[in-house]
Structure 1
Amino acid sequence: MSSKERVAIIGTVGIPAKYGGFETLANYLVDELHTRFNFTVYCSKYNYDNKVKSYNNAKLIYLPLNANGKSSIVYDAISILHSLFYSDTLLILGVSGAFMIPFVRIFSNKKIITNIDGLEWKRNKWGRLAKKYLKWQESIAVKYSHNVIVDNQGIREHVKLNYNKKSTLITYGSNHAFFEILMPETIIKYELPKEYAFKVCRIEPENNIELILATFSKCNKNIVIIGNWNSSRYGEKLKLKYSPFDNIWILDPIYDQKILNQIRSNCTIYIHGHSAGGTNPSLVEAMYLGLPIIAFNVNYNKFTMNNLSYYFSNEDDLLKILNKLEKEKLKLIGIDLKTFAESNYTWSKIANEYSKLF
């Protein structure tokens, strides 16, 4: 029998990663640490047609539930219960099923490590009851976990201020992002302009999509925005309103990562409008690619970028920044951000920090 520590990873759609920051994190923890730990990863069977039993020596357990939305509560709870029979350490990503943690502490000696994510209860997409539930779960996770992981200094300060508890700061890796040459067929297919700003994200209010679109509608700069416009009335309304502008390219989701990377890699400016959460995976990827970035003015984004870029709080801020940009200055910003990402956001560094807790 192996003497390696047994670690369960709970709270993701699964691996190999197809979607989301936590999935990418789980994937790279297994890639980097599978020779040192025995991993079990819980997966949603609805997201995998080919249900392999293992990935890079990690055991994969498929549950007949969706990993996101309301069903994530049951999904995480069942994963936690099941993992008690197969693991020494539980790495729980997110707080949906945190109500289980006190019972685990009472009835077992398993080690509980919880990454509380980016203050999920603040997101506008949740209703009043959902926000209350998520905030309650966050408090349980912080109180009863052996170790609490935060991905941003802003979240760390929140945990200290509101719960008087220390947390471990571990961010995300970015060195899986790679530069792609923009191919002529991609330019033709999407009718892309020669120079453009770029944004890719979920079309949700806290990502400040409307602010960004409204600003670009008032200037002559081009922008390409990729997102799930048709998933909500909010997205449909914005798509209908801003599609007529000649300098705004509104594109539906692109699931071919190679093509998406082509369009992202060759933008002149990356616009990051996220106002909620901690260290955003798409932001550190843009940094690693050396893209000049203009970001929404919240402490999470400033901590992530070491305050090395431009920041906006409203339409006037963003418009002023866009109108005064110089190519040489943008180039230097991109170089500084890439240098910082190469030193701080590599998967080997992140995995090593997790391994200390395991």
Structure 2
Amino acid sequence: MQHVFIVGSKGIPGAYGGYETFVDKLTEYHQNNSRIKYHVACKGRDNLEFEYNNARCFKIKVPNIGSAQAIYYDLKALSECCKYIKKNNIDNPIVYVLACRIGPFALHFKRKLHKLGGSLYINPDGHEWKRAKWSLPIRMYWKFSEKMMVKQADLVICDSINIEKYIQDTYKQYSVKTKYIAYGAETKRSIISDDNPKLIKWYHEKGIVAHNYYLIVGRFVRENNYETIICEFMKSNSNKDLVIITTANDTLMDMLENKLHFKSDKRIKFVGTVYDQELLRKIRENAYGYLHGHEVGGTNPSLLEALSSTNLNLLLDVNFNREVGSCAAIYWSKEQGDLSKLIDKADKMNNDCILQFGISAKTRIKENYSWEYIVNCYEEVFLCKI
């Protein structure tokens, strides 16, 4: 049996985020796989262990030390992995670290793991050091940490072809061994019907009409280009709403209002978060179109979900989005007037054209990004120890 230790997600079940969903799906699809045993670190208030999806989940108690919590969590989790491997005499374990937060300590843990006969795999996520929310010193730390982790990793698993190319080009002096395995998405339709009371209530409370809105789902951060999207939507002649499902960020909200005065446009509707995944999938399915402005990162989970659910997808034209959407979407730039013209054009598209985009998008997800396909790729890597 191959033992795989996963460090870096907040844990399973119940936590929401890209890494958390990935770990949940990986263990779900492999729960009856007798050849792999997963051990998943989970952030918690105690040090308990429990089983979930046939994976051994172990909680790591993290003190309230501000932004250093994530680094402490990873270090503590890695220490616990090493202790468990040594105590239980586990042969050839793989420790898979999600994100590059602990670069300065990577060599230390690599040496410990190699002494125990193990391997260190990492997933670098996207360009975390480019995110606008970080101050310059923190961005510099992220970049340095990425470098040190990539240098020490036995294998770097990238969820984007472009991220893999970036890793290979940037760190070629280290002869980095990489493997491309994308993030995944569900291909099934929502179990919620159009006359479901929960759905009808949500639409009524938010003042939204099914099939008469463009949708955005994602974190409310600057690099997701909410300013450009809202500004351009306000310029458009669309009679549809722009429905924004996102997290709270009062600073960014106030900045956008002061700059754009979007609250005067009744079409712009911030509706909070939706954690009910079936309801969210149905809201995606009922959208006229999906607007995606993410430009930092690899394969974006919200984009995959949009392509699997929404027929018409309007994506910011950057290489990460092109890689995923290919010919199954239409693209816009941040050039003034470009998106507003595209929205007006999209409003006039005939149903057959929109439906064809939807078929292409769902085919692309099914063939390249379904969770079944993705976890099979991971099984091959873990069992072959590529």
Same fold (TM over 0.5): yes
Structure 1 equivalent of residue 246 of structure 2: 227
Structure 2 equivalent of residue 86 of structure 1: 84
Structure 2 equivalent of residue 101 of structure 1: 106
Does residue 25 of structure 2 align to residue 14 of structure 1? no
Distance in 2 (CA, whole Å) between partners of 1:89 and 1:72 is 21
In structure 2, the CA distance between the partners of 1:56 and 1:256, relative to structure 1 (3 Å rule), is: closer
Looking at CA atoms only, which structure, 1 or 2, has the larger radius of gyration?
2
SS in 1 for 2:303: helix
Structure 2 equivalent of residue 64 of structure 1: 61
Question: How much has 1:184 moved relative to structure 2?
Answer: 2.5
Q: 1:122 aligns with which of 117, 130, 133?
A: 130
Q: 2:273 aligns with which of 250, 253, 262?
A: 253
Aligned residues: CA RMSD: 2.1
Distance in 2 (CA, whole Å) between partners of 1:171 and 1:108 is 26
**2:3 touches 2:37 (CA, 8 Å); kept in 1?**
yes
SS in 1 for 2:84: coil
Question: How much has 1:290 moved relative to structure 2?
Answer: 4.4
Distance in 1 (CA, whole Å) between partners of 2:146 and 2:99 is 9
Structure 2 equivalent of residue 73 of structure 1: 71
Does residue 21 of structure 2 align to residue 24 of structure 1? yes
Structure 2 equivalent of residue 141 of structure 1: 149
Distance in 1 (CA, whole Å) between partners of 2:356 and 2:187 is 22
Distance in 2 (CA, whole Å) between partners of 1:107 and 1:348 is 33
**2:5 touches 2:38 (CA, 8 Å); kept in 1?**
yes
Question: So what's the TM-score if we normalise by structure 1?
Answer: 0.92
2:84 partner amino acid: Y
**1:296 touches 1:312 (CA, 8 Å); kept in 2?**
yes
What are the residue-to-residue correspondences of 1:1-358 with 2, within 5 Å? 4-34=1-31, 35=33, 36-45=35-44, 53-65=50-62, 69-87=67-85, 88-109=93-114, 110-164=118-172, 165-175=176-186, 178-179=189-190, 180-182=192-194, 183-194=199-210, 195-221=212-238, 222-229=241-248, 231-238=249-256, 241-314=261-334, 315-325=336-346, 326-327=349-350, 328-358=352-382
Distance in 1 (CA, whole Å) between partners of 2:106 and 2:187 is 32
Distance in 2 (CA, whole Å) between partners of 1:82 and 1:330 is 51
Distance in 1 (CA, whole Å) between partners of 2:189 and 2:95 is 32
SS in 2 for 1:7: strand
Task: Give ranges in structure 2 of 5+ residues lacking alignment.
Answer: 86-92
Distance in 2 (CA, whole Å) between partners of 1:30 and 1:147 is 20
Question: How much has 1:176 moved relative to structure 2?
Answer: 6.3
Distance in 2 (CA, whole Å) between partners of 1:297 and 1:171 is 19
**Size of the alignment, in residue pairs?**
351
Distance in 2 (CA, whole Å) between partners of 1:260 and 1:357 is 32
Question: So what's the TM-score if we normalise by structure 2?
Answer: 0.85
**1:228 touches 1:235 (CA, 8 Å); kept in 2?**
no
Question: How much has 1:239 moved relative to structure 2?
Answer: 5.5
Distance in 1 (CA, whole Å) between partners of 2:357 and 2:187 is 21
In structure 2, the CA distance between the partners of 1:60 and 1:96, relative to structure 1 (3 Å rule), is: same
In structure 2, the CA distance between the partners of 1:290 and 1:252, relative to structure 1 (3 Å rule), is: closer
Question: How much has 1:257 moved relative to structure 2?
Answer: 3.0
Task: Give ranges in structure 1 of 5+ residues lacking alignment.
Answer: none
1:77 partner amino acid: L
**1:41 touches 1:60 (CA, 8 Å); kept in 2?**
yes
In structure 2, the CA distance between the partners of 1:307 and 1:136, relative to structure 1 (3 Å rule), is: farther
What CA deviation, in whole Å up to 9, does each residue of 1:216-236 have, x standing for no partner?
11123221111123x341124
Distance in 1 (CA, whole Å) between partners of 2:255 and 2:113 is 51
Question: How much has 1:70 moved relative to structure 2?
Answer: 3.0
2:344 partner amino acid: N
What CA deviation, in whole Å up to 9, does each residue of 1:177-229 have, x standing for no partner?
64344433222121103511000111111000011111111123221111123
**1:44 touches 1:66 (CA, 8 Å); kept in 2?**
no
